[in-house]
Amino acid sequence: MCNNHHHIPKNTSKKDEKTVHDQEHIKWNRRSFIQALGLAGAGSMMLGGTSTVSASKPSPLSVALSQSENDNILVIVRLKGGNDGLNTIVPVYDYASYANLRPTIRHEQNDLLMLNSDFGIPNYMNNLESMWGDGKMKVVHGVGYPSQNLSHFRSSDIWASADAINFEATGWWGRYFEDLYPDYLINPPEIPPAVQIGSIGNLVFEGVDNNYAFAVANPEQLANVAENGTIHDVLDIPDCVYGDKLLFMRSTTNTTFIYANVINDAYLSASNDAPYEEAPLSDQLAIVARLIKGGLGTKVYMVTLDGFDTHAEQAGAHQALLEDLADSMKNFYDDLATTGMDTQVLSMTISEFGRRPYENGSFGTDHGAASPVMLFGPALEGSGFVGDHPDINIWDNNDNLIPSTDFRDVYNSVLTNWFCLDPAVLDLILLGQSYENLDLGFDCELLDTIDFGNVTRFVHRPTYSNDRTYIEMQMPVTAHVNIKLYDIMGKEIATLKNEMLFPGQHSVDVIANANTRLSFGQYIYRITTGGQNYSKSIMIK
């Protein structure tokens, strides 16, 4: 629970503000809990009677990460709670203003390690000094978005969905993977598209029907999967009725995690060849390093360092967090370097917002706006700063720093120049908006990027009207279409359509075409057309 804020919005009492803040955290945790109950990121439901899982074919508009001409990997490091950027990358060029705004929590100038003549980091982040000196670190100044929302829950969704205006229910990576694996529900890829530790409930890997990450709540769960190939112990079970029920539940959960075996194989194929501290982020990155070195093949990882909501007594808590960040990053890349894989891995910090430029009455800082994004890895080919630092003396209406770089500029630059994705795919991921391409130190090395600009997409979706369920399709060309309906366990129920369809919109009444009685509940339909399979969940109401 957070202490009262020093700065209160107009017409809001301290009691009211604290109530809103506490309700915000309850709401945030509730969604995480609900998703955890649903075995978040299990990869896919197990479908009885289906064939052996095999890699699904990428859609026509996708440049498949797993088949791209580079082997690049992205590690997203979520600094959960809102990182205080001014005490992470200290603006020494205006130290007097900085010190005046933070009389008790400021860093003394002689305690800073200078990255250049204008900016420094606290000396307890000394492990980043060598990374900076070796050209393996960049800082993007003042990252945020217009009209910053100061809610943890909403701002986290904005960073995950890439939509600061609408309440978009899918994430930037979720939309990509949904396009890449259109038949994911029935035929998921052999490897997890993404691996996520912590941040359960976050939208970043969320598609319309699936979360595309193998997600665990903490590194202990992932370590258990990696070491044993299961999420729960099924041997040490009491011999009683309770034990029988516990065995069933644990076995079901283990089975649901379809990627446990491949994660286990990758983990056991490698070892950590650099020392790691015993700290939350270090524990996570040590496992990620083994999975990468073990050849898992997953292209996107997200790890979580929690505790950045520093409303009170910030100094000690923030130091512990930043020490973990600095130490774990250095050890992570030292570990990867033992196999030469460090050049293939880019790491990037994100945080839902920064903190206020001035400290509050509880020796902390309240919810803010702009904050730096830090990137790590040899691929950056030189350390430096990107963009302009916000003026720490000019604030918005909430007394916050004004962002100078849109966070989606960073996303656009990573997707374009690190993963070499085609503009048509970027349009899908970034919701049809164009963003700036920042100079992060690397360029796309694909010699020939496929032009999908003129491809017309096959589109399908379930619709519901007058207690009936329909499958709507937009056919780009004349083609044979086969639609099958499955129950939730993968048993084939009916063939709904098996004929040539002309270009244009088509609607299939599921109940009318099933020719059998359908119970209320969830089903899966699978469309086969043009040599491609598409699947999606659907409800019979």
Most confident by average pLDDT, 65-79, 165-179, 312-326: 312-326
- In sequence order, the β-bridge partners of residue 527 are 483, 534
Q: What is the CATH number of the domain that holds 519?
A: 2.60.40.3080
Would you state the pLDDT for residue 62?
A: 35
**Which two structure tokens, joined as six digits, stand for 300?**
């996107």
- Show which of 382, 408, 429 is a domain's final residue: 429
Name the domain count of the chain.
2
Look up residue 59 and give its amino acid. Answer: S
Can you tell me whether residue 534 is helix, strand or coil?
Answer: strand
Identify whether the C-beta of residue 229 lies closer than 8 Å to the C-beta of residue 335: no
- 303 plus 185 within the same structural domain: yes
Segment 11-69, tens digit of pLDDT: 445 455 555 565 555 444 444 433 433 333 444 333 333 322 233 333 333 333 434 44
Would you state the pLDDT for residue 246?
A: 58
Instruction: Scan for tokens 């996520």, then name that residue.
Output: 196
**Which two structure tokens, joined as six digits, stand for 60?**
């026509």
Q: Is there a domain that residue 321 lies in?
A: yes
DSSP, res 317: H
Can you tell me whether residue 1 is helix, strand or coil?
Answer: coil
Give the residue from 515, 525, 528, 514 showing the smallest Cα distance to 482. 528
Q: Is there a domain that residue 8 lies in?
A: no
Q: Is the dihedral of CA 75, 42, 202, 523 positive or negative?
A: positive
Identify whether the C-beta of residue 78 lies closer than 8 Å to the C-beta of residue 197: no
C-alpha 458/C-alpha 238 separation (Å) is 53
Give the residue from 139, 103, 156, 167 showing the smallest Cα distance to 404. 139
- 403 plus 533 within the same structural domain: no
C-alpha 201/C-alpha 215 separation (Å) is 10
Q: Is there a domain that residue 6 lies in?
A: no
C-alpha 269/C-alpha 485 separation (Å) is 40
Q: Is there a domain that residue 21 lies in?
A: yes
Buried b or exposed e, range 210-220, using 16+ CB within 10 angstroms: bbbbbbbbebe
Identify whether the C-beta of residue 471 lies closer than 8 Å to the C-beta of residue 538: yes
Q: Is there a domain that residue 450 lies in?
A: no
pLDDT at 215 exceeding the cut of 60: yes
Q: Is there a domain that residue 442 lies in?
A: no
Strand 112-114 to 371-376 pairing: unpaired
**Angle formed by the axes of helices 219-228 and 280-293, nearest 10°:** 30
Confidence of residue 179 (pLDDT cuts 50, 70, 90): confident
Would you state the pLDDT for residue 21?
A: 61
Q: What mean pLDDT, rounded, does the chain reach? A: 83
**Which two structure tokens, joined as six digits, stand for 22?**
């506490």
- 489 plus 400 within the same structural domain: no
- 158 plus 299 within the same structural domain: yes
- 196 plus 141 within the same structural domain: yes
pLDDT at 427 exceeding the cut of 90: no
Would you state the pLDDT for residue 460?
A: 86
- 171 plus 113 within the same structural domain: yes
Segment 190-202, tens digit of pLDDT: 889 999 998 888 9
C-alpha 292/C-alpha 339 separation (Å) is 10
Buried b or exposed e, range 59-70, using 16+ CB within 10 angstroms: bbbbbebeebee
C-alpha 22/C-alpha 329 separation (Å) is 32
Q: What's the mean pLDDT in 409-418?
A: 95
Can you tell me whether residue 376 is helix, strand or coil?
Answer: strand
- 403 plus 467 within the same structural domain: no
Give the containing element (helix H, strand E) for 411.
helix 407-417
- 177 plus 220 within the same structural domain: yes
pLDDT at 214 exceeding the cut of 90: no
C-alpha 131/C-alpha 148 separation (Å) is 31
The residue range of the domain holding 210 is 15-429
Q: Is there a domain that residue 278 lies in?
A: yes
- In sequence order, the β-bridge partners of residue 306 are 80
- Show which of 429, 451, 485 is a domain's final residue: 429
**269 to 228, 301, 341: CA distances (angstroms):** 13, 19, 15
What's the whole-model pTM score? 0.78
Can you tell me whether residue 309 is helix, strand or coil?
Answer: coil
- 425 plus 465 within the same structural domain: no
C-alpha 433/C-alpha 426 separation (Å) is 9
- 370 plus 467 within the same structural domain: no
DSSP character string of 242-296: HHHHHHHHHHHHHHHBTTHHHHHHHHHT----S---SSHHHHHHHHHHHHHHTT-
**Angle formed by the axes of helices 260-268 and 280-293, nearest 10°:** 90
C-alpha 354/C-alpha 333 separation (Å) is 26
Would you state the pLDDT for residue 28?
A: 45
Q: How wide is the angle at C-alpha 246 spanned by C-alphas 244 and 248, nearest 5°?
A: 70
Instruction: Scan for tokens 């033992």, then name that residue.
Output: 338
Other beta carbons within 10 Å of 167: 9
Burial classification of residue 254, based on how many CB atoms lie within 10 Å of its CB (0-12 exposed, 13-18 middle, 19 or more buried): middle
Radius of gyration over every alpha carbon of the chain, rounded to an integer in angstroms = 25
Can you tell me whether residue 300 is helix, strand or coil?
Answer: strand
Q: What is the CATH number of the domain that holds 373?
A: 3.40.720
| Stretch among 53-57, 252-256, 391-395 having the lowest mean pLDDT | 53-57
Q: What's the mean pLDDT in 168-177?
A: 93
- 417 plus 468 within the same structural domain: no
Give the residue from 135, 46, 84, 23 showing the smallest Cα distance to 486. 46
Strand 384-386 to 492-501 pairing: unpaired
- 256 plus 130 within the same structural domain: yes
Give the containing element (helix H, strand E) for 330.
helix 314-337
